[in-house]
A and B are shown apart, each in its own frame.
Chain A
Amino acid sequence: MAARSEAAYPPVSWKTGRIASWLVTVDHKRIGIMYIATSIFFFLLGGILAVLMRAQLATPNESFLTRNSYNELMTMHGTTMIFLVVVPILAGFGNYLVPLMIGARDMAFPRLNALSYWLYLLGGIVLWLSWFASGGAPKAGWWSYPPLSENLPYASPGHGQDYWILSIHLLTLSSIAGAINFIVTIHNMRARGMTWMRMPLFVWSIETYSILLLAALPTVSAAVTLLLLDRQAGTHFFLPSQGGNAVLYQHMFWFFGHPEVYVMVLPAMGMVSEILPVFARKPIFGYKAVAFSTLGIAFFSMLVWAHHMFTVGMPIGLDSFFMLSSMVIAVPTGIKIFNWIATTWRGNLIFDTPLLFALGFLALFTMGGLSGIFLAAFPVDWQVNDSYFIVAHFHYVAFGGIVFALFGGLYYWWPKMFGRLLDERLGKLHFWLLFAGFNLTFLPQHMLGLLGMPRRISTYHHGGLWEVYNLLSSIGSGITALAVLVFVVNVWVTHGLRRGVRASNDPWLADTLEWYTTSPPPPHNFDTVPYVTSARPLRDLRRRLAEQT
């Protein structure tokens, strides 16, 4: 219907301008690119905050930042990286790739899709405007536990926290609309022949990502709504002095917060599951095991939230339950890791940059997964929780895992998105600098945590090992920043200087349908879509072509 009525009129001229055409677009590819570009912009901003924090912590008794600035930076870094970088960049990849991978022309609801993006951008702008709010940016941490996040003169007066709440509301609306769109698209618009067991594993992960978002996001919306009412309408849901309950917020937040971890990591794993086989010149080892372990992780991720709360003094029975459920998640995660390693077995490993990042993901995510076992065992968690050990742990998962996978995905799909391959030499330099910088930043933080350094302190007074490890970590953060700069230079060299090699339809000899169309694809994606006979339709096509000649 919509297509016919639009075709009846000539396009309105202002809508075809170089900028305006992006503002009014409902094309999933353009929306995907806008998501990715905006996320990378926020990634750079959030990274600057991180480097500033590391500068403050490089030496003891440092006063480079004030206490309140430190708390603002720390809160904004966490919120930005989770809500404005990882979740939306995955939405961006999902937007760009899901229709292409399943052989569809667009998402099921293109206008809703555009709304998701613009709500995300608005949420990001609102959060970053909080720097100009009375009282400055929010400073109660990305969890914003009350009573510290309450509108009390000694807690979080001013409006920074309210901007944070508004931003979370906008971002959850954006993600919920996006999640519904993904689910409807994946369920209804797959190419002929693409059964569930022939679907690319990245699409499996986006399906799971969407289900988890739908299940988890309403809870955080509710939690921040109650917090807003407390702050602005005189209620006291979380104010114990007036009969409220501060722990209730923690339950509501982590009921969302833990699934959110898997919202972020599962699609990153999906990317690795796409990249590894292509560069190993093999099929993924154990397709079904990888697909079903994705669902298994998602299911159990809804049952583990209170392992973030082992120190609130829950009954031992609850602690025990959450320990066991958290340990159960290690099993499907292990299955994935072993299957990925088996995928490299007897392969023809082509060391292009995407493979380096995928292998980096494997090496580092393993570390982050294993340090998680310490945290699941709740008596050990009592010792290491809220220390730098946990900061190291979740950065091994979120940075060493997710961000490495994302960079791998960027190098892998870049030629499809923009028609040029990123420079391989700069790509490798980027990888090795990032690998070295990342480990130097976060490996010593495990030790700091065990030495007794709590997270979120704006300075410290110990010399000795505290100083050594902190200084190493800060040096590492500089190297990490340099690595990210190499990526920016790479983009500039490839496109600004037009040095990038023009990409063919399928520069990597890949397996999935997005490589069937041109690079970049036309607005309607495909002229024809082949009948899908396996999980690797493009390899099937190549073989058929080879047989014919």
Chain B
Amino acid sequence: MPTRVRRKLLSLLVASVSVLVTAGAAVAANGGFTPEAPHSPNAARISSAYYLILGFTAFIFVVVETLLVVFVWRYRSRSRDRTVEGAQVHGHTRLELIWTAGPVVILAVIASFVFYKLPGIANAPAASNPLRITVEGHQFYWQFDYPNGARSINELHVPVGRVVDLRVVSPDVIHSWWIPQLGGKVQAIPGRTNHIWFKADRAGTYEGQCAELCGPYHEAMRASVVAEPEQDYRAFITRTAAQTLGKQEFEGVCATCHGMQGQGGYGPALATNPILTQKAGLAAIVRNGRLRMPPVGDTWTQAQIDALAAYVSKNVYKGATSGG
């Protein structure tokens, strides 16, 4: 056993321990060592549970790995022959009891803390008059349904500081709603309605994306939550949402596969396809899907179809190629 290898073993294990120590130091800076800075009470409570567990597990990690390194170094063979036996110790009952009871106590503390924080994570604050919004996960976009009937795609607008209760559903396959800074995730499962809530504590845009494999464009299923002052939110759901609906639909739904200019990609090119000008034909394809194309608009209202038809015939359609 060359000393070189021994030294390497030691230095590598020391290195991994020091990585952990650095990790502790970097917690404040957050280089990915803790969940993203929370901006909702439930996310903050999840983070606090994370810190508690991190504290205990880092402690156990350091103890175990240090013992391992110390023993490996201390009891290395040196020049002893293989025939030299170590101490013939077969066990120690009291030690077994200690390292059974110790973890039990630590786990009990962690579980108790989780239960203590749980109501503030799982349940929206009572008597908070939550804003109820339906989130529909689709291949491959998110659709938001506001109380006044307005709809938006991929971008959810909410008033800052108001409790938002999301009903999370899906008409096709399983998706998973996740905005890391606003709490945990919940699956959007066909045939089920799940709930999750948040209360954005600061104006700003919070990014997230689908966390459950849902098909080829799983990675493209991004969502953002725009938390803004009450009057901006009002303006969005009463005017902007409807005005930009067609654009949102084309860019958030169609363009994923057909390209931002309708030039084609995973799906065929659209820009020169006259179907863009035929509302009935367009509606049928969008509502029912075609071949590989999922029925992206199977839950769309007539207003949504109208908005899309108006937008694409004006902004995407480049005229049929002559002689094509």
Give chain A's interface residues, CB within 8 Å of chain B.
67-68, 71, 139-141, 145, 147-148, 153-155, 157, 240-241, 244-247, 280-283, 285-289, 311-313, 316, 320, 323-324, 327-328, 330-331, 334-335, 337-339, 341-342, 344-351, 356, 359, 362-363, 366-367, 370-371, 373-374, 377-387, 428, 432, 435-436, 439, 443-444, 446-448, 450-452, 454-460, 465, 469, 508-509
By a CB distance below 8 angstroms, the chain B residues around A338 are: 95, 99
State whether B19 touches A67 (Cβ < 8 A).
no
Name which residue of chain A comes closest to B67, CB basis. A341
Shortest B258–chain A CB gap in Å is: 15
By a CB distance below 8 angstroms, the chain A residues around B86 are: 280-282, 346-349
Name which residue of chain B comes closest to A465, CB basis. B32
Shortest A343–chain B CB gap in Å is: 9
Shortest B253–chain A CB gap in Å is: 14
In the complex, whether B173 has a CB less than 8 A from a CB of chain A is yes
Q: Known contacts A282-B86, A311-B187, A380-B49: does B176 contact A386 (CB below 8 Å)?
A: yes
Q: Which of B43, B72, B83, B190 contacts A241 (CB 8 A)?
A: B190
Q: Which of A241, A346, A469 contacts B75 (CB 8 A)?
A: A346
Shortest A59–chain B CB gap in Å is: 14
State whether B186 touches A280 (Cβ < 8 A).
no
Cβ contacts B56-69/A at 8 Å (1 or 0 each)? 11001100110110
13 contacts between A and B (CB under 8 A): A145-B174, A148-B173, A154-B172, A241-B171, A282-B87, A289-B91, A312-B187, A313-B187, A347-B87, A359-B9, A380-B53, A446-B32, A456-B218
By a CB distance below 8 angstroms, the chain B residues around A281 are: 82, 84-86
Q: Known contacts A154-B172, A280-B75, A370-B61: does B111 contact A323 (CB below 8 Å)?
A: yes
Cβ contacts B173-205/A at 8 Å (1 or 0 each)? 110101010011111011110110000000000
The B127-162 residues at the A interface (CB cut-off 8 A) are 139
State whether A363 touches B13 (Cβ < 8 A).
yes
By a CB distance below 8 angstroms, the chain A residues around B122 are: 316, 379
A380 vs B8: C-alpha distance in the bound complex, in angstroms? 36
State whether A351 touches B36 (Cβ < 8 A).
no
Q: Which of A320, A348, A366, A439 contacts B64 (CB 8 A)?
A: A366
State whether A311 touches B8 (Cβ < 8 A).
no
Give chain B's interface residues, CB within 8 Å of chain A.
1, 5-6, 8-9, 12-13, 16, 19, 31-36, 43, 45-47, 49-50, 53-54, 56-57, 60-61, 64-65, 67-68, 71-72, 75-77, 80, 82-92, 95-96, 99-100, 102-104, 107, 110-111, 114-115, 117-118, 121-122, 139, 168, 171-174, 176, 178, 180, 183-187, 189-192, 194-195, 207-219, 266, 289, 291-295
Q: Known contacts A147-B172, A337-B64: does B195 contact A373 (CB below 8 Å)?
A: no
Q: Which of A141, A316, A465 contacts B213 (CB 8 A)?
A: A141
7 tightest CB-CB pairs across the interface, nearest first?
A382-B184, A240-B191, A447-B32, A347-B86, A154-B294, A313-B194, A457-B219
State whether A382 touches B186 (Cβ < 8 A).
yes
Shortest A68–chain B CB gap in Å is: 5
Shortest A322–chain B CB gap in Å is: 12
Name which residue of chain B comes closest to A141, CB basis. B213
Q: Indicate the member of A154, A287, A455, A509 with the most B CB atoms within 10 Å.
A: A154
State whether B53 touches A450 (Cβ < 8 A).
no
By a CB distance below 8 angstroms, the chain B residues around A385 are: 184-185, 211
Q: Which of B31, B84, B95, B115 contacts A348 (CB 8 A)?
A: B84
By a CB distance below 8 angstroms, the chain A residues around B184 are: 311, 379, 381-383, 385
Shortest A390–chain B CB gap in Å is: 10
Name which residue of chain A comes closest to B50, CB basis. A380
Q: Known contacts A141-B213, A285-B90, A379-B45: does B68 contact A344 (CB below 8 Å)?
A: yes
